A and B are shown apart, each in its own frame.
Chain A
Amino acid sequence: MAGFFGMMAAPVAVALVLVVMHGYLGQHVVRRGVIFVDIALAQVAAFGVAMALFFGAEHGTNAAWFVGLGATFLGALLIAATRSRNDTIPQEAYIGIIYAVFSAAMILVLTQVPHGSEEIRHLLVGSILWVTWTEVLKTAVLYAVLGVVLWRSHRSLTLISDDPAAAQARGMKLARWDFLFYAVLGTVVTSSVQIAGVLLVFTLLVVPTVMACRRGCGGGVKHLVFVLLTGVLAVILGAAASYWLDVPTGAAIVCVFGLLLGSQVAIEALAGQRS
């Protein structure tokens, strides 16, 4: 018997790698108000993988991965093109449409593939418990490379996320930067959804940033540290709950995130009453 550490070390390690990357990207996603963009991109990627399966590629091969990535870039292009200049239609509307249409298209494709329903279930809940150290390492290397890209364009991206009008006034081409951002986000999400499933990836991206923003959405290092600490706490608590309560790991971590956010809201409400 491997015990808690033997079983949970690799899942916790990969979750921590995901926390770092998604914690950073989550700030931009929340500030841009494009909360469901990751799910939409993941869905476009999944549609790509489904197409690859349909044309005979095997799941988990390089061919499937590259087709998924290509589809993600297509999704990034679509989402960058829907940045709304019309205030009555929020960009979330287009993101929702992209999600719904590509989900439906994926179902159409996967009903033609023998193991389709198993794939759909797998994309939702992932299989983080089974992650191997090789996968942890691969993910870490990929994210490190993308991290360099993000680090070099941090200032421009932050400006566009916070104040797109000012950025445009400075002569920045919003569409190009948007494409870069969504392409990076899409690449990250494509690989993380394969490991952790849509539910956990969405939670990692949004919940820590929302918790940080409730304490003042300042951005900066302090904000990022808070995001990382809550992420780490939730992952470790969730993994422990999964092991000792004997329940699936991904779902346990998602629920712990929910509980953390709920307790934060409750504590703030109590503190507010007292003062």
Chain B
Amino acid sequence: MKRLLILVVLPLLLAADQALADKPLQVVCTVTDLGWLAEQVGGEDAEVSVLCPGEYDPHFLPARPSLARRLGKAELLCYNGLDLEVGWLPVLLDKARNPKVRPGQTGDLDCSLALEQVLEVPVGQLDRSQGDVHPEGNPHYLLDPRNGILVAELMANHMGHLRPEAADRFRQRAAALADELAPRILAWQEQAVPVGQRPLVQYTKQWEYLAAWLGLELLGSVEHRPGISPSPRHVDAIIGQAQQEGVRELIAAPWNHLDVAAKAADRMEAALVVLPAAVASVPEATDYPAMFDVILADLVAAAGK
């Protein structure tokens, strides 16, 4: 009887395993930038879905049951890491009950592991008085496209482990993406030269990687403690500094409180420049390279005024 059972069940299991291997890899990404990168690397060997739509602030995504359901079907979860999604991803993972993508499992991919250098890792004591500060460093590394290339390579390796038969294709696609982005990165850097002449002020701490990559100088941020309203003296100081240094642009993400940002820009006698901080955060930023096209075009246009 037992032998008969094995004879019947084993081929079924093998067939199921084979069917799983033929099916595209189910990838869930937290943010749109990672979603685009995963699509480029995965091609027809992966099906990618994104949890946080581009227009939403990835710090504060409202948890919805449908998100947990999508996470439940994932074989690979790619997230930004450095605590960007700490407000909602752990809760969703709890609800999703999917052992494959739990921390430390094969389907868990913290994309920040691809970085060579994390900016602004804080030193010394941390506490809540500093607002939603990221204890592991600044998480907005995808605003430097060179990091996008690193992340794509990491994804290719990881997807290759999960689907060994497609490993070569993943690696080839990541390499093709790097080749495609390399000349555009140089062009963007070229474009940014006139922008770097004057310092900028940012509304929230979001643009450090962009600035470091393009050689822009950021004077400071209006909301210096993310998630907490700024104090009058801080606002006074940053406005005074902005006027002294001849700042003409205040840059903000589309999900910042633009009412307040516009008022801050007014007081600095600067223009408010809203830049896409993620793929699809504005309609023109249709994909990852297009996002940098828009960022550079907007910065150059503002600097030319």
Contacts and interface: CB of A to CB of B under 8 A. Distances in A.
Interface of A: 1-3, 6-8, 11, 59-60, 107, 110-111, 114-118, 121-122, 125, 127, 129-130, 132, 239, 242-244, 246-251
Contact of A127 (B57, B257, B266): B257
Nearest to B255: A115
Contact of B260 (A7, A111, A114, A127): A127
Given A118-B257, A125-B229, A248-B228, A2 B240 contact: yes
A211 to B, nearest CB: 26
Interface stretch (B4-12, B231-239, B292-300): B231-239
Contacts of B236: 1-3, 6-7
B53 interface: yes
Interface residues of B, number: 30
Contacts of A6: 236
A8 B263 CA distance: 15
30 contacts: A1-B237, A2-B236, A2-B239, A6-B236, A7-B232, A7-B233, A7-B235, A7-B236, A59-B258, A107-B62, A111-B62, A114-B53, A114-B56, A116-B62, A117-B62, A118-B57, A121-B227, A127-B257, A129-B229, A129-B230, A130-B260, A130-B264, A132-B263, A242-B232, A243-B233, A248-B228, A248-B229, A248-B230, A249-B232, A251-B229
A32 to B, nearest CB: 32
A224 B29 CA distance: 59
A129 B263 CA distance: 10
B260 A247 contact: no
Contacts of B256: 118
Contacts of B228: 248
A59 B256 CA distance: 12
B64 interface: yes
Contacts of A116: 62
A125 B255 CA distance: 17
Q: For the complex of A and B, list the 4 residue pairs with the smallest distance between their C-beta atoms, beginning with the closest.
A: A114-B55, A1-B240, A117-B60, A111-B62
